[in-house]
A and B are shown apart, each in its own frame.
Chain A
């Protein structure tokens, strides 16, 4: 929680903060105090928001609660506490008739192709055409062509990557304003991933649009995310502008003696010194790598990656 408090402070100081300003428009996706108890797992007071024009990366270990949060946002599971809304409609209403109009504007991709395997790619198009009033068959055909999807091929014969391309083609072909993607780039080859990331970036440039994207492929998020939210054991651990992590922060590669000097110097705030011990030394989380480089020019300080930050936050110690 201390880390979260610190991170929230960082968020409010950083660019791209999305809340707090009275003039800021309502987020397109918002969860507040979302709580859900399963047998051996709980979501504990999840706060999350995605503003217009944002791509928010949602990260965390397997079983941390990403998919449960996404299901709760989409109204697919009842929650035990808190509230959530997507495009101004309460999540609880999304599975009811009142939510149908809003769901027209939400594109969803799960981590597997969630369609009966016997359907062909063309059948999938016709099912989506029946489901969505704004279905754009031309766009779907064009995207399917770009992704190399054969219209006659059954879903069960598609590889994981091709299946994800099909799911993305569907999500991008019904005039969605918000995309909620759960591991949508998993299984894609590097070229297809580039193509998809470019399309997501282009998508979010349109007015009134946003993307919430859970992913284990943090390099994807480094390329396109505006903000990164991390969940662990059902709690939000950090919610930071991506640029704060990748541009501002650093990771100091220390020896034990360096580490003690850094800790004693006070350059890194008390109780904010996050570190991860390795066989060959200690990695230290540096909130401002430029200031750190001035204070400790002899200690190598690399750019922070989201993976590094996750490791330091979830597995590292605090001093």
Chain B
């Protein structure tokens, strides 16, 4: 698996550089819109998780690379496990780069007076740091879930064919349940006591805003992300084993 992982990284190396550049552009736009940099690591984490899954699948289809790679001393199992390893690695890389950038900006703003009130905007506060960590870990889960949904589809159908089906699958997973819930009327006034739900959630939500709560949420988010990716990898292994390239 190590060989397949290193090969995958070598193939994606140039693209990752471009992606980080693009990620910073998106981060600047989002930060300007939010007047805050708390979302920077979250954006980079999610972008790299999703784009790693999609671009690696796209390279598989370039010039029959996915087929030729199997003539090398790596198995289908190695290919699948390496793919998930690379997705996770790039997600964590995005997170690290994001935190590094936020840390540097905060450090600079604390020693140099930046124009247009930027120093105040970028200044370190415990609340901002907690929000940054929370948002990043939340996006880690979201990015992992999306990568976990699309990767088995790519392994089964290939990137070109999967691209035709993914919008339909996204609608089925993310929109149809809400349409069904809405259609059944369970959300109608009186059917669900939203106030009691909010009361029940108020304590956990208050806890998540504390350092200990963010720490606990981060641990849960990490475990959840790894679990979702592991479950997806198990599905991909079965699908790719049977796929005729």
Contacts and interface: CB of A to CB of B under 8 A. Distances in A.
B35 interface: no
A74 B69 CA distance: 12
B75 A112 contact: no
Interface stretch (A92-100, A143-151, A194-202, A214-222): A92-100
Contacts of A128: 72
Given A115-B63, A126-B10, A127-B11, A108 B68 contact: yes
A131 B75 CA distance: 11
Contact of B10 (A74, A104, A130, A133): A130
Give chain A's interface secondary structure class: loop
B161 interface: no
Contact of A103 (B6, B7, B59, B72): B72
B70 interface: yes
A118 B58 CA distance: 12
B155 to A, nearest CB: 14
Contact of B67 (A114, A116, A119, A123): A114
B68 A131 contact: no
A107 to B, nearest CB: 9
Contact of A132 (B64, B67, B72): B72
A113 B10 CA distance: 17
Given A78-B244, A110-B64, A130-B7, A116 B74 contact: no
Interface string B68-90: 10111111111000000000000
Given A130-B3, A131-B72, A97 B65 contact: no
A127 B76 CA distance: 17
Contacts of A126: 10
A101 interface: yes
A97 B78 contact: yes
A119 B245 contact: no
Interface in B88-109: none
Given A113-B63, A117-B63, A74 B71 contact: yes
A77 B244 contact: yes
Interface in A48-82: 71, 74-78
Nearest to B59: A116
B30 to A, nearest CB: 28
A123 B14 CA distance: 10
B77 A97 contact: yes
**Interface size class of chain B, counting residues whose CB lies under 8 Å from the partner chain:** 20 to 34
Nearest to A154: B14
A106 interface: yes
Contacts of B59: 116
A76 B71 contact: yes
A108 B64 CA distance: 13
A110 B6 contact: no
A106 B71 contact: yes
Contact of B73 (A110, A113, A131): A131
A65 to B, nearest CB: 15
B77 A131 contact: no
Contacts of A110: 64, 67-68
Given A76-B67, A114-B67, A97 B75 contact: yes
A316 B72 CA distance: 41
A131 B63 contact: no
A103 B73 contact: yes
Nearest to B61: A116
Contacts of A106: 71
A132 B3 CA distance: 9
Contacts of A78: 244
A137 to B, nearest CB: 14
B130 to A, nearest CB: 40
A100 B75 contact: yes
Given A130-B6, A130-B7, A76 B75 contact: no
Contacts of A71: 67
Contact of A116 (B3, B63, B245): B63
Given A119-B11, A127-B11, A108 B71 contact: yes
Contacts of A100: 73-75, 78
Contacts of B13: 123
A111 to B, nearest CB: 9
Given A76-B67, A115-B68, 16 more contacts: A95-B75, A95-B76, A97-B75, A97-B78, A103-B71, A103-B72, A104-B73, A106-B71, A110-B67, A113-B63, A114-B63, A117-B63, A118-B14, A127-B10, A127-B11, A131-B72
8 contacts: A76-B245, A95-B76, A96-B77, A104-B73, A114-B68, A115-B68, A116-B59, A127-B10
Interface of B: 3, 6-7, 10-11, 13-15, 59, 62-65, 67-68, 70-78, 244-245
